[in-house]
Amino acid sequence: MKVILKQDMENIGKRGDIVDVAQGYGRNYLIPKNLALEVTSSNMKMIEIERQALKKKLEKERESYQGFIEKLKETTVTFKRKAGEKDVIFGSVSSSDIKDALLELGFEIDKKKILIEEPIKRLGNYSVPIKVFHEERAEIKVEVKREGEELIEEKEKEEEKSPGEMIETAAEEKVVSKKEEKEEIKETVQEEKKGEQEKEAAEEGQEAAEKEAEEAEKKTEPEKEEEVKAKKAAKEEQKEEQEIVPKKEEQKTKEEELSESEGEKKKEKKQEKDKSEEEKAKDPKEEETKPDKKERKKEKQEKEAASKK
């Protein structure tokens, strides 16, 4: 079956390519994973539109990588290794080493895109290709130097100098050292002056602060007196309140006791009244006969008085 690839597929093709694949592989893997789209007679027009869109996208991405490629081409990474006879180094320089060195320079590149057939095992200068975008590549320079080689080169250069050049170099170094000495003296003097100025400024600032503090104390004396008076008045008010509270409580207690005694008296009176009413209710005849007895007694007295006459 024919499919158009939506992504680069190793050993199959690049994004946008129309390729023939096994039917099971296409239907069960590429199409479900959205890695490819089946090409049929009904969707050829859509496929062409998709292909053109992918092509434009690829061109834009390629343009965006151009600056990155140019920077890589100008890049050199240097490694220092111990080496024995015939410039054979101890260990090697691998794609991982190159990747780490490029990362320190700000280039983040996958190790698989650093195309070296085998690790570098000798001193020397090498060109290492790096796959950047599809077929776009950039070659970087890789230098493998012996450890301490720079010191040896400097010594050799010094030995190669003529006596006149050596005298000139010594004279230049002497002049430079004198200049440096003068600059150091100048810096020391400037630092001392700066220190003295800072000290004077600090002393002046301290004096000004002391004066301000004295003036503030003078100004605040009346305020302090007022504060003392206010505190004293507040204490007196608090004391009066503390004295008033027990009195109020005592008066309240007396009022409560008085109201309780009055209540008890009223209760007793009510009880007596209720008792008398109960007694009246129990023996009404007795109450009614009292006036009859008086009348009988009176009649008896009148009879006795009449008989005596």
What mean pLDDT comes out for the span 70-81? 89
Residues 188 and 149: their CA atoms lie apart, in Å, by: 38
Q: How confident is the model at residue 287 (pLDDT cuts 50, 70, 90)?
A: very low
Q: By percentage, how much of the chain surpasses pLDDT 70? A: 78
Determine the pLDDT at residue 295: 76
Give yes or no for a contact between 50 and 4, defined as CB atoms under 8 angstroms apart.
Answer: yes
Residue for token pair 């007679």 = 41
Pairing mode of beta strands 76-81, 136-146: parallel
What pLDDT, on the 0 to 100 scale, is given for residue 125? 92
Tell whether domain 75-160 is in CATH 3.90.226.10.
no
Higher pLDDT, 116 or 194: 116
Condensed to tens digits (0 to 9), the pLDDT of residues 28-67 reads 998 898 888 888 877 777 777 877 887 788 778 777 778 8
CATH 1.10.150.20 fits 2-65, yes or no: no
- Top pLDDT among 70 and 224 is at 70
CA distances from residue 272 to 7, 73, 141, 261 in whole angstroms, order as listed: 116, 127, 129, 17
Kindly compute the dihedral angle of the four CA atoms of residues 208, 211, 216, 219, in this order, to the nearest 10 degrees.
-140
End-to-end Cα, the chain, rounded Å: 171
The answer, yes or no, to whether residue 282 has pLDDT greater than 70, is no
pLDDT band at 290 (very low <50, low <70, confident <90, very high): low
State residue 202's pLDDT score: 73
| Domain parsing of the chain, residue ranges | 2-65, 75-160, 161-239
Q: Is the pLDDT of residue 288 over 60?
A: no
pLDDT at 176 over 70: no
Residue 167: what pLDDT? 67
How much is the pLDDT for 126?
A: 92
- Quick one: tokens of 149? 């080689």
Six-digit token pair at 98?
């190159």
Average per-residue pLDDT for the chain: 77
Q: What pLDDT does 281 receive?
A: 64
Judged against a pLDDT cut of 80, whether residue 73 lies above it is answered with: yes
pLDDT band per the 50, 70, 90 thresholds, residue 291: low
